[in-house]
Amino acid sequence: MDTFDTFIIAVGVALVLVGLYLFISGKQGDGSRNSNVEGFGIKINVSNPSIILVVIGIGLILLPKFLPNTPDSNPYIPPDPIDGPGPGTGREPVIPVQPTVYYPEGDWYLVGYTQNGVDISMSVEANATFSAKSSNGVTWRMEFVATDMWGNMSQYFYSGTISHADEGYYFTVKQTNDPSIPSEVRSPLIMNLEDNGQLHLEYAIGVNNIIIHWMKLS
């Protein structure tokens, strides 16, 4: 409903109120003459202006219902999407999530040592320190004390780096006093932090396949 329709209804209501007031107050014209008008089988006393006002007012009130609706001069137009695929473009490409590269740090002590499938943890004590972590990897130093079946003790140290390349880890020995291992030995490394907090290292040095488990010092 627009402003024009509201105005017509307001005028119609005003005419009805005025007509009712005149009808109730008894103000009417000369009733001696025949002032009846008949149309469509209905007789209306036109000598009484109150009836005419009421009829016109009701007509004005009902008139907007029969008028055609005026089109909206400012129709709402939804905005066009700025981004996003159009219809029929198919599924969006899935970007693979790059795995997080983990490097240990701090001081650790030995809790398990297996060499070529044989558990020799009871005859080996060791500690390790991982430090100087960078985007290229981490440096480490490990010190071992091994006891043979005759009770003879041997002490060895190893130092080097752990790096990540080609979606895998690499274990490199740069310095050692172990005569059986040459320096600058590089081997693929399996490394992960297990649920119990142990650091799992698995690599091959020469003919030895080694699996070591470390626990971090609190």
Helices (H) and strands (E) in the chain, counts: 2, 11
In the block, residue with structure tokens 């972590």: 133
Work out the number of other CB atoms within 10 angstroms of the CB of residue 193.
13
Output the tens digit of pLDDT for each of the chain's 218 residues. Answer: 567 777 777 777 777 787 777 777 765 444 444 555 454 455 555 556 667 776 776 777 777 677 666 666 666 777 665 555 555 555 666 665 555 888 999 999 999 999 999 999 999 999 999 997 777 899 999 999 999 889 899 999 999 999 998 889 999 999 999 988 877 889 999 999 999 999 999 999 888 899 999 999 97
Q: Quote the pTM value.
A: 0.53
134 and 162 Cβ atoms separated by less than 8 Å:
no
The dihedral sign for the CA sequence 195, 199, 204, 210:
negative
**CA dist., res. 187 & res. 204, Å (int):** 6
Question: pLDDT for 7-19, tens place per residue?
Answer: 777 777 777 787 7
DSSP-derived secondary structure letter, 135? T
**CA dist., res. 150 & res. 121, Å (int):** 16
